[in-house]
Chains A and B, each alone.
Chain A
């Protein structure tokens, strides 16, 4: 069995028992990346030398009997919108940050290092995390390991594809409107968006500050739990991070949640859902029923009708502000053909940003403009409160909410690039959890007849990640979908 077939928890155990070294784990991943990534293009940059050095150091420390941490020797990939100070680039898949080197580590990167992880590289994304297919990258699209003609989802498509193709056991992504859960579903892995404030955003390059949240990818629920435990917790540098204790998510993971009332919102099975997705997800719900759970029909009246519109006002408004700093003055890309200062601003931004980023900056700038603010941004905040209330009312009756993560399985590369609205609808079931600031996870729950993975989304209330993971684990143990590898991995083996 190849080291890349091991889960993070298995690597952890093997390293602890000295059956495996950190260097072997890292070399295994680097080999897999070398072999498969030219086809998948999950990574924007790798750091083989730094990774080997770091792995060797961890082996030395383990040999010296030191406690190296929760992730000792485990190779990890990080989405390229999180800052790393080790001289590797942080590009956000944008031309405007081409060549930029972050002078500091993001909080999560510090946490990974402190827990002994080996960061082997940084993964591709839609530029500034704006997109649902990882096609909006200035450095080329990432491909779905289950079908190289299809997208991996996005915006954390690089991290999802890297985990699905077993290039790394675990990876970090960020989720603003579904950017972890949707690619997890499309790539057949586990991806979790924790409660807003659960993981510090310090060092995560902001897209939409009130929605962005960092979360884990893994092939199993336990791996996601492990990575969440290593990265969650209060950080005084992020005023929106919460002083809520971080439980050991692995402890009690095997304990089923009983009794379990599952809310099934009518709106999550609305028109537009792919029939195969619907039947696979309904089967998954039946599995829970067999496990003793009660399915409770519920309604989230504001969550689908208004969530996409609300999301695209809130997110683009914040983005237009967050991305104002990329002006060619202090760092990053600067045009060379400008005539004066204003011209430098305009040309640097026109040449540095891709179309989708420009589209969102323009939408957000419009929504915040004097005379439009009340009709758009302020209204969107009011609807956001209604969406939050929908969930509060639901959680008074049920322990979790389930439905499909994405209305369709992975679509073809290029299929939706000409139609931004069709692309935006990829997130129709995921954005409301961001707007409501609650926790959500996507776990593999089956395949289409053509062999494309399908994800089950589970949503729980704020700061109940422990219970959310246990609910996910109940299903995983019963079904074993998370054990299946894409053909490309098996062909290579």
Chain B
């Protein structure tokens, strides 16, 4: 036995609700926080005689996520029944995909404090969610069940055991959520139960005589519903595994104890045993005879692939490497897909990603923050806003006029930047003789400052610039003013 430090080996199962209007196999609405048992029908209640009909939108979203994770689509999506008795599952079987999942062999790149990591994805498959069972308040001897959630389309994403620590587990879950939100696949609001994480934790404890790695028993923590609890539960489990292993190195192994299922008490910060290996279920999977196997059309899949936007990480890297943005700016501009889309459209229109980024960071983001609105509610299209940016770039107005005068009027009136500049006579002048006359005037009235500058006070140049711009009512082209001033002062 080597004395090497045990290495945490963690795989995650993540369940997320897909963003569909209706349930997986019936026409009931998917809604949260509505009266219990209000969104139910004979189909999702599992009444005698009902049959499921697949929700095409759920399939589309699942394909979208699978493609974004780089998965291969094996070409045949087949449904299976997974049997277990529980009052929140009216049919006492769940329709799922067992041996032929929708997508296989993908990966997700994540950014941890230790640097980038690539986490393999074993499979992505669709299934239906169960309802919610609530035990009577005040210790009554009964339970009540809410079947609104029954039949909600659920995507299960199973990772390879490539995760090696609590932080990585959290970042993996966060990145998966960001991706799903970015793709419009799911809202993943964890408080609403739209995303649940189940890490499978084990420690690699060296290798046997044949060089095969040895592990501590796998423990699966069920139903974690916050990123914080993912990190805490994994931290707790790693420590627990370590303790158990140190206490009994010969007995606390995967071969001897297999896999167990544990719950997590968030308030106490401890996990507890729910089911040991001996009690493992036989789910008696078999192909769902009420649904026909589905072969996703190749062209349809390619169409979905085409509509997948660049993923946040790819966009972020591109802004840093190609457009020379700072890490911070690139992060802000790619965190939200619609902001990233807006920036991209603006950059294309003004043909300068960096300039577009400056305007986004200094003007657009500020307005969004002030008004507490989302980019989708920002009144100007990237083209309308780009016209303003272009007026500055081509020196028709200066940056200050654009920001202080034109932009507020655009937002207030809905008029175009060009119209406002024309109506208000804001176009700046580059007429050298006119500007020279203004500069001469300024130098005459500010002779003292001009002397200071010539005497070596470099800051005095700025004051003379300011005075000249003021004298032109802001309309003089600052570049021309600067050139003339410099010439006159012999700089």
Which residues does A use to contact B, with CB under 8 Å?
81-83, 90, 92, 97, 100, 102-104, 106, 201-206, 208-210, 236-240, 317-318, 320-321, 324-327, 329-331, 341, 345, 365, 368-370, 373, 377
Contacts and interface: CB of A to CB of B under 8 A. Distances in A.
B424 interface: no
Interface in B270-290: 282, 284-286, 289-290
The list of the 9 closest CB pairs from A to B, nearest first, reads A324-B92, A209-B289, A368-B284, A210-B289, A205-B48, A203-B49, A205-B49, A370-B282, A329-B87
B51 A321 contact: no
B46 interface: yes
Given A368-B286, A369-B284, A102 B91 contact: no
A317 B49 contact: no
A326 B93 CA distance: 12
A226 B285 CA distance: 40
Nearest to B280: A370
B462 interface: no
A91 to B, nearest CB: 10
Interface string B290-311: 1110000000000000000000
Interface in B51-105: 51-54, 81, 83, 85, 87, 90-93
A239 B48 contact: no
A325 B49 contact: no
Contacts of B85: 324, 327, 345
A202 B51 contact: yes
A97 B53 contact: no
Contacts of A82: 49
B447 interface: no
Interface size of B as a range: 20 to 34
A373 B90 CA distance: 24
B48 A92 contact: yes
A237 B49 contact: no
B49 A239 contact: no
Given A202-B49, A204-B49, A209 B83 contact: no
A427 B285 CA distance: 28
A102 B42 CA distance: 9
Contacts of A106: 49
Contacts of B52: 239
A327 B292 contact: no
Given A239-B51, A370-B284, 4 more contacts: A83-B47, A83-B49, A239-B53, A345-B85
Contact of A239 (B83, B87, B285, B291): B291
A104 B42 contact: yes
B171 interface: no
Given A324-B93, A365-B284, A369-B284, A238 B48 contact: no
| Main secondary structure on B side of the interface with A | loop
A202 B50 CA distance: 6
Contacts of A368: 83, 284-286
16 contacts: A100-B48, A102-B47, A103-B42, A103-B47, A203-B50, A204-B49, A205-B49, A206-B49, A210-B289, A321-B81, A325-B90, A325-B91, A327-B87, A329-B87, A330-B90, A368-B285
B45 interface: yes
Contact of B46 (A100, A103, A320, A330): A330
Given A236-B53, A324-B92, A90 B48 contact: yes
A236 B52 CA distance: 10
Contacts of B286: 317-318, 321, 368, 373, 377
Contacts of A205: 48-49
| Main secondary structure on A side of the interface with B | loop
A238 B51 contact: yes
A239 B92 contact: no
Q: Which of A320, A324, A330 has the most CB of B within 10 A?
A: A324
A102 B50 CA distance: 11
A202 B282 CA distance: 29
A318 B289 contact: yes
A369 to B, nearest CB: 6
A423 to B, nearest CB: 24
Contacts of A321: 81, 83, 93, 284, 286
Contacts of A209: 289-290
A368 B49 CA distance: 22
A365 B92 CA distance: 13
Contacts of B47: 83, 102-104, 331
A330 B45 contact: yes
Contacts of A327: 85, 87, 92
Contacts of A325: 46, 48, 90-92
Contact of A237 (B48, B53, B90, B289): B53
A331 to B, nearest CB: 7
Nearest to A344: B87
Nearest to A364: B284
A377 B52 CA distance: 22
A363 to B, nearest CB: 13
Contacts of B284: 320-321, 365, 368-370, 373
Contacts of A320: 284
B405 to A, nearest CB: 60
A201 B48 CA distance: 11
Contacts of B291: 239-240
A239 B25 CA distance: 11
Given A324-B91, A324-B93, A240 B49 contact: no
A321 B47 CA distance: 14
Q: Which of B49, B54, B93 has the most CB of A within 10 A?
A: B49
Nearest to B290: A209
Contact of A240 (B42, B87, B91, B290): B290
Nearest to A381: B287
Contacts of A204: 49
A204 B50 CA distance: 8
Interface string B436-465: 000000000000000000000000000000
A317 B288 CA distance: 11
Contacts of A92: 48
A60 B285 CA distance: 53
Contacts of A324: 83, 85, 91-93
B265 to A, nearest CB: 23
B41 to A, nearest CB: 8
Interface in B183-211: none
A25 to B, nearest CB: 28
B420 to A, nearest CB: 55
